[in-house]
C-alpha cells in the first residue's frame, strides 16, 4: 500500500472524492503551455498519461500561471499555445470525458493554496531546488529571479495537493519539485491536521529523449520533431540527426550508443531496435538507409495522431467544450479541498 493511501485513511483526513465513484489512485499532471508537443513531451509524459487513464483517475492541467514565471513578457502567446497543446493531448488519446483537462488560471483555488503554502517553506529551501537553479542558469537570471519564479514548486504543490493526488507522473527534472510537494503535505498535516495525501512520483520509462543534435529535445534548442510534423518534415529532420561521427561510410561499423537515430528506433520501433543496433555495429547498415527507415516508421506511427489533430482543428468547439467540462469538475474538487484547508487552518 502506498504512503498516500495510508495517509488518506488517517484520522480526520478527508477521503478524496472520486470522480467516477471508484477508488482508483488519483493523478494530477500538468504541462506549461508550450504549444505543439514534440516526441520528448510525448515519451516523457503524454504517452504515460494516456496509458494511465484507465487504471487511475486523472486530471490534466495546463500550467499557464507557471508559464508566467519565465514568460511574463509574452502573455499574448499563452492562449494560442494552450489551444495547440490541448489539441495535442486530445489527439494523443486523452479522453476528456474520463480525464478532465483544464486551465490552471481558471481555477482560482490554486492561487489561494499557493499563498498558504508559501508560509510553510523557507526561501533557502527554494533556492536549493536544482531544477529552478538550472533554469535560472540557462536563462541567465542569476540576479533577477522573481519571487514568483522561486515559488514555482510551491505553486506546483498547490496544483497537486488541491486535488489530493496520490501520484504525479513526471520526468526526472520534476522530481525535486514533487519532493517539495511532499514536504509541504507533511508539514501542513503535522501543523493543522491530516488533509493531504503525500503524493509519489511516477517516473516514465523514457524520461529524456535526445533532440536531433543529441542534446535534450527542446523547443528552444530547435532540435525537436513534433507530433504534428508531416511525413515530409519528419524525413527532412531525421536526415539531419546526429549519428556516430566515426562511421563515415555506409559499411563502416558504427556505435549506436549516443546515436540519435538509434535512440528513436528504441523508442518507436519496438523489438526491431536490437537488430538495427547489431547491424550498425557489424557495418551492415548505413546511416542514410537507417534514417530513411526511421522516418517512414515515425511518419506511420504518428499518422493516426495527425488525423485526429486535423479533425480537432476543424472543430475548435470540441476543444473548448472539453476545457469547460474539465474546469467544472476540477473546480468542484478544488473548492471542497479549500473548504477543508480553511477549516483546518481556522480561516473560516
First to last CA, the chain: 34
| Shortest Cβ 69–ligand TRP spacing (Å) | 9
Stretch that binds ligand TRP, among 119-127, 167-175, 229-237, 336-344 (CB under 6 A): 167-175
Burial of 307 (0-12, 13-18, 19+ CB in 10 A): exposed
Helix (H, G, I), strand (E, B) or coil at 304: helix
Residue 25 DSSP class: P
Examine residue 174 and tell whether it contacts ligand TRP (CB under 6 A). yes
According to the binding rule CB under 6 A, does residue 63 interact with ligand TRP? yes
31 near ligand TRP, rule: CB under 6 A: yes
Footprint on residues 175-214 left by ligand TRP (CB under 6 A): 177
Residue number, 168 or 198, with CB nearest to ligand TRP: 168
Question: How far is the C-alpha of 348 from the C-alpha of 32, rounded, in Å?
Answer: 32
Query: Comparing C-alpha atoms, which of 97, 27, 37 is closest to residue 225?
Result: 37
Which phi and psi (to 5°) does residue 203 adopt? -75, 145
Q: Would you count residue 66 as binding ligand TRP (CB under 6 A)?
A: yes
Shortest reach from residue 211's CB to ligand TRP, in Å: 17
Q: Which stretch binds ligand TRP (CB under 6 A): 9-17, 115-123, 170-178, 285-293?
A: 170-178
Of the candidate spans 137-145, 153-161, 222-230, 339-347, the one that interacts with ligand TRP by CB under 6 A turns out to be 153-161
Task: Find the shortest distance in angstroms from Cβ 303 to ligand TRP.
Answer: 27
* Cβ-based nearer residue to ligand TRP, 9 or 147: 147
| CA–CA gap between residue 48 and residue 50 (Å, rounded) | 5
Do the Cβ atoms of 210 and 267 come closer than 8 Å?
no
Rounded Cα–Cα distance for residues 2 and 200 (Å): 8
| Cβ at position 173, least distance to ligand TRP in Å | 8
156 binds ligand TRP (CB under 6 A): yes
Cβ-Cβ contacts under 8 Å for 114 (sequence gap 6 or more): 151, 154, 155, 157, 158
Minimum Å gap between C-beta 227 and ligand TRP is 17
Q: Catalog residues that contact ligand TRP under the rule CB under 6 A.
A: 28-32, 63, 66, 156, 159-160, 168, 170, 174, 177
Amino acid at each position: 500500500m502506498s504512503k498516500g493511501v495510508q495517509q488518506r485513511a488517517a484520522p480526520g483526513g478527508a477521503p478524496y472524492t472520486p470522480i467516477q465513484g471508484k477508488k482508483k489512485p488519483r493523478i494530477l499532471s500538468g504541462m506549461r503551455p508550450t504549444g505543439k508537443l514534440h516526441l520528448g513531451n510525448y515519451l516523457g509524459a503524454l504517452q504515460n498519461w494516456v496509458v494511465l487513464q484507465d487504471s487511475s483517475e486523472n486530471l490534466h492541467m495546463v500550467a499557464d500561471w507557471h508559464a508566467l514565471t519565465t514568460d511574463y513578457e509574452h502573455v499574448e502567446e499563452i492562449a494560442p499555445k494552450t489551444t495547440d497543446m490541448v489539441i495535442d493531448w486530445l489527439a494523443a488519446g486523452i479522453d476528456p470525458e474520463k480525464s478532465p483537462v483544464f486551465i490552471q488560471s481558471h481555477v482560482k483555488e490554486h492561487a489561494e493554496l499557493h499563498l498558504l503554502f508559501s508560509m510553510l517553506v523557507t526561501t533557502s529551501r527554494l533556492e536549493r531546488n536544482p531544477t529552478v537553479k538550472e533554469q535560472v542558469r540557462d536563462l541567465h537570471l542569476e540576479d533577477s529571479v522573481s519571487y514568483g519564479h522561486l515559488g514555482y514548486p510551491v505553486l506546483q504543490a498547490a496544483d497537486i495537493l488541491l486535488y489530493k493526488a496520490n501520484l504525479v507522473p513526471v520526468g526526472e527534472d520534476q522530481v525535486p519539485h514533487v519532493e517539495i510537494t511532499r514536504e509541504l503535505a507533511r508539514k501542513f498535516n503535522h501543523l493543522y491536521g491530516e488533509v493531504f495525501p503525500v503524493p509519489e512520483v511516477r517516473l516514465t520509462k523514457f524520461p529524456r529523449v535526445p533532440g536531433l543534435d543529441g542534446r535534450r529535445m527542446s523547443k528552444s534548442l530547435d532540435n525537436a520533431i513534433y507530433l504534428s510534423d508531416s511525413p515530409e518534415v519528419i524525413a527532412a529532420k531525421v536526415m539531419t540527426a546526429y549519428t556516430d561521427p566515426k562511421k563515415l561510410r555506409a559499411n563502416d561499423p558504427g556505435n549506436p550508443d549516443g546515436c540519435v537515430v538509434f535512440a528513436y528506433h528504441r523508442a518507436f520501433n519496438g523489438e526491431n531496435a536490437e537488430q538495427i543496433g547489431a547491424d550498425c555495429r557489424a557495418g551492415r547498415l548505413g546511416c542514410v538507409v537507417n534514417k530513411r527507415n526511421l522516418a517512414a516508421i515515425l511518419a506511420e506511427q504518428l499518422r493516426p495522431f495527425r488525423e485526429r489533430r486535423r479533425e480537432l482543428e476543424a472543430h475548435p468547439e470540441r476543444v473548448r467544450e472539453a476545457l469547460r467540462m474539465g474546469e467544472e469538475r476540477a473546480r468542484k474538487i478544488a473548492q471542497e479541498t479549500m473548504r477543508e484547508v480553511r477549516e483546518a487552518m481556522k480561516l473560516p
